[in-house]
Structure 1
Amino acid sequence: MQASKLLAAGVFALSAIVPLAAGAAGYPSAPVKLVVGFSPGSTIDTVARIMGDALSTRMGQPFVVENRTGANGMIAARAVMQAKPDGYTILVSNSSSITVNPLLYKDLQYDPLKDFAPVTTVVSVPFILTINAENPRVSGVHDVKSLVELARRNPNTISYGSAGNGNLMHLAGAQLATMSGVQMLHVPYRGAAPMEAGLMSKEVDFGFDTLSGVPLIKSGKLKALAVSTAERWHDLPDVPSVAEVGYPGFDISFWVGVFAPAGTPPEVVERLNKEIALAAEDPAVRARLALQGNPSTQPSPQAFRKKIEDELKQNEALIKRANIKID
């Protein structure tokens, strides 16, 4: 009797394993949902649609974008965290939702490393340190050094805008202030577009703008002093990086990355990592991605996890140094 029970248990266990292995080997055998926590037309949404189109072609099943906006990407992250871990519900999100929100929000309801299986990044996007040259408060500013010196002479008066408290734009401004040892005034807005409008209307003196500011820079309405990444941005080749002009180690950007729910078969996660990397190497796909940021994938899911771990530590240290808090 005991032997028959053990045999039945073994058969049951095997039956549970075999479909999982078969599903991983034949993945995908049905449409895949890409859940995006940001609005249509945003960088994250656009990258998801570019990659979704490419993966649909490569893998023979539709990869369909579903926008679940709100709470700086947290609503979408929670939805994917609770989804069945079979590779058919995938999160496309940004670094702020994964490596900043967990450090600031007590009611986040997800752990970026325990509740998700990181797949890969797709693009890395710089911020652009920008001023309005017609703003009389910064009329003498022509580079990062002169901006810092102005702030040094006027402590806690020279202001920088951001897309909100704790946003990566905020962290970039705080990093510049802490590295230069000056006091600057942070002015949070409700998003990147309102912050850019604040620059245009001279409400704030500078900001780490998104790539949406490039046309304004090229038309002369805004002036770019530096980019936030270690390397220059290909569309503004004459604009130096902050690191180049006296702040080595300054390297802040936001990436767009792909995540599966924790417990997704490793074979599925590995397959997605490889297919996204191959898709990003296609010249046509790469050209489309380059309009949104620097195409940048991770060599393995493990490498992406390590990147997230490192950024969480770096951001935590910066948030403590700058005393950034969310009420």
Structure 2
Amino acid sequence: MKRRILIASAFAAAAAFSSSPALAQARPIRLIVPYAAGGPIDVTARVLAERVKDSLGTVIIENRPGGGGNIGADAVAKAAPDGLTIGISAVATHAINPWLFSKMPYDAAKDFAPITQMVRVPNVLVMNADTAARLKINTLADLIAYAKANPAKLNYGSGGNGSAGHLAGELFKQGAGIFAVHIPYNGGNPAQLALLSGQVDFNFDNLATAAPNIRAGKLKAIAVTTLQRSPALPDVPPVADTLKGFAIDTWWGLVAPAGTPKDVVAKLNQAFVAALQSPEARSRFAGLMAEPVNNTPEDFGSFMRAELAKYEKVVKLSGAKVD
């Protein structure tokens, strides 16, 4: 009798462990980041991986950069849909690249199961502070008025053809009815250096990158590209206050391969949403000017579909193409 009781107790303990919401498994979860280590996307992924270890177990970050993010995203798309491989989806990999690249290794709309959005980082229209003072430009209306009064005299830089800065610039030009020459650079840092040295007149830059020079007085923030003001720059109005509906944000989130069971996706969502809401994560993200965004898999999927449709028009407007 005692032996039967012990055996029954052992089975009960094993059943309780296996039904734990902690997704306990022998193998760690692999989180593929389609960009190099050290950048904001990589940092936020590592912060969350640390926060979910108690509920999901070990989460290993695997950086798979290249192809504008396509290589890493493709690795997620082609992984087994068992919940042990997840990855980062970003505005580039899931909204811009499908229209920018003539050939894509994955289908952004069909090959992924959304888990949750992670963050949003505003972009900001900035000018060299000395240039803005010389041209007497203090507001977005001033910039538009100057461009209309001085056709083809302004230029703007970006991190390359098809980059978020390039697309924001082309959308701005169309909405404002102005012309400015686009000067592409090989990355965001060279573009910012060109702005700081006065080689270009304005840029649409990532707020996290531009903030130190805004604080130092080297760059003048004219407007943010989110529909609402950013908590990081509460005195800087949105472009949308002048050009209705203008919105180009940098965002990223978590996805799994298509076909991942819904209950597994739900458990991953629960764990990562809790991590996003933790004071530790919010504090770390604030240093990157990143605003945490958590939602349901269904809401994140709807958001990504809307972004994909939006950027089809924006990329075609820019004329950018990568063969």
TM-score by length of 1: 0.87
8 Å Cα contact 1:128-1:224 kept in structure 2: yes
- Residue-by-residue CA offset, 1:9-68 (whole Å, 9 max, x unaligned): xxxxxxxxxxxxx89977341211111111222111011011111111332x11111111
- Residue-by-residue CA offset, 1:185-215 (whole Å, 9 max, x unaligned): 1111122111111111112110111111101
The 1-side partners of 2:136 and 2:38 are apart by 36
Structure 2 match to 1:259:
255
Distance 1:148 1:65, change over 3 A: same
- Residue-by-residue CA offset, 1:56-113 (whole Å, 9 max, x unaligned): 1332x11111111111111101111121111111111321111000011112211112
Aligned pairs (5 A) from 1:250-289: 250-289=246-285
Pick the aligned partner of 1:238 from 230, 235, 238.
Answer: 235
What letter matches 1:177 in structure 2?
K
Pick the aligned partner of 2:102 from 106, 110, 115.
Answer: 106
1:126 aligned to 2:134?
no
The 2-side partners of 1:95 and 1:243 are apart by 20
Aligned pairs (5 A) from 1:185-200: 185-200=181-196
Structure 1 match to 2:35:
38
Distance 1:227 1:181, change over 3 A: same
Distance 1:182 1:137, change over 3 A: farther
Structure 2 match to 1:145:
141
The 1-side partners of 2:129 and 2:21 are apart by 58
The 2-side partners of 1:74 and 1:207 are apart by 25
Structure 2 match to 1:116:
112
The 2-side partners of 1:255 and 1:107 are apart by 23
The 1-side partners of 2:81 and 2:152 are apart by 49
* Deviation of the 1:224 alpha carbon: 0.5
Q: Larger deviation: 153-162 or 305-314?
A: 153-162
The 1-side partners of 2:320 and 2:148 are apart by 21
The 2-side partners of 1:326 and 1:137 are apart by 37
What letter matches 2:237 in structure 1?
P
Structure 2 match to 1:295:
292
Partner of 2:51, secondary structure, is helix
8 Å Cα contact 1:80-1:89 kept in structure 2: yes
- Residue-by-residue CA offset, 1:149-181 (whole Å, 9 max, x unaligned): 222223333111111111121111111111111
- Count of matched residue pairs: 303
Structure 2 match to 1:223:
220
TM-score by length of 2: 0.88
* Deviation of the 1:289 alpha carbon: 2.1
The 2-side partners of 1:68 and 1:321 are apart by 30
Distance 1:172 1:291, change over 3 A: same
8 Å Cα contact 1:138-1:205 kept in structure 2: no
Structure 1 match to 2:175:
179
Partner of 1:100, secondary structure, is helix
Distance 1:23 1:178, change over 3 A: farther
User: What runs of 5+ residues in structure 1 fail to find an aligned partner?
Assistant: 1-21
Once the two structures are aligned, what percentage of the paired residues are identical? Answer: 38
Structure 1 match to 2:3:
none
Partner of 1:134, secondary structure, is helix
Distance 1:133 1:228, change over 3 A: same
